[in-house]
Structure 1
Amino acid sequence: MIIEQKTSKTMNIIIWIAQVILAAGFIWAATMKLFQPTDELAKMWPWTADHAGLVKFTGILDLLTGIGLILPTLLRIQPRLTIYAAYGTVVLMITASIFHIARAEASLIGVNIFFAVIALFIAWGRQKKAPVATNQSDS
């Protein structure tokens, strides 16, 4: 039983690290997409030069994802929303990969695959290995 508690605590820490890394990545991307001039963004992400509206839309999605990966679990208010945010991340990364492949930018999907794998780990971990209980006042 002590070993199981240690494993659960270790897994919880590992999942938290994954959540923070993924959230930081999304919040960074959101900040770039929402506040950088288009010509500056195009130097880093060539696709942004042709899709200003899509850049802002994905910036908002990235911000919401970053928040959704951390706050519900941290505050213990509807922590299952973190799981939904993780699954939404997988869908977003698949969509982004398809977008890049369609533009002959397949070399750019490594980050999308990496983020999707981390998101799947978070969803699995928060569902099966280290779920977070809801605050009593939310019941």
Structure 2
Amino acid sequence: MNVVLWVIVGLLAAAFLFSGATKLLRSREQLIASGLGLYEGWPPPAIKALGVIEVLAAIGLILPAVTGIAPILVPLAATGLVLMMVGAMVVHARRGEFPYLALNLVLLILAAVVAWGRFGPYAF
């Protein structure tokens, strides 16, 4: 099971690193033009803040476990991502963007598995 958790952690970290980097490296107009109309009413600093949170969460999923320094941060980062995905699902549901809900739900479940595994039976 420990190997499975590592695979899930890697997938989550990659997904949020990519998503966060995209928000940090592109302007709001570029994000909207690429099909992310969700950000039409959002101020650019809020989008950048989400990007920073996602990148930090990706780092928090990997770095503490690899270095052995403060490994409690791994399940805390995963718990933060669960909360972030709940918020994302609320926003997408309010906007009627129902296809995004499936991806948010998958990421939420994966983050919940990591949080459960690292807080519980597969803690460091």
CA contact (8 A) 1:83 1:127 kept: yes
1:38 to 19, 23, 28: 28
Does residue 65 (structure 1) correspond to residue 57 (structure 2)? The answer is yes
Letter matched to residue 126 of structure 1: R
Q: Alpha carbon RMSD of aligned pairs, Å? A: 1.2
Kindly tell me the number of residue pairs found equivalent between the two proteins.
122
Instruction: Give the secondary-structure state (helix, strand or coil) at the position aligned to 1:108.
Output: helix
- Taking structure 1 as the reference length, the TM-score comes to 0.82
Cα distance in 2 between the residues matched to 1:111 and 1:57: 21
Deviates more, 1:104-113 or 1:23-32: 104-113
Does residue 47 (structure 1) correspond to residue 47 (structure 2)? The answer is no
Output aligned runs, 1:7-18, within 5 Å.
Answer: 11-18=1-8
Please name the residue that 1:105 is paired with.
Answer: 97
Letter matched to residue 83 of structure 1: P
Deviation at 1:45?
A: 1.3
Deviations 1:113-134 (A, max 9, x none): 11110001101111223211xx
Name structure 2 gaps, 5 residues minimum. none
Deviations 1:3-29 (A, max 9, x none): xxxxxxxx1111011001000100000
CA contact (8 A) 1:41 1:49 kept: no
Please name the residue that 1:121 is paired with.
Answer: 113
Letter matched to residue 45 of structure 1: L
Deviations 1:53-109 (A, max 9, x none): 321111011011101111111111111110111111100000111111112222212
Name structure 1 gaps, 5 residues minimum. 1-10, 133-139
Percent identity between the aligned chains? 30
- Taking structure 2 as the reference length, the TM-score comes to 0.91
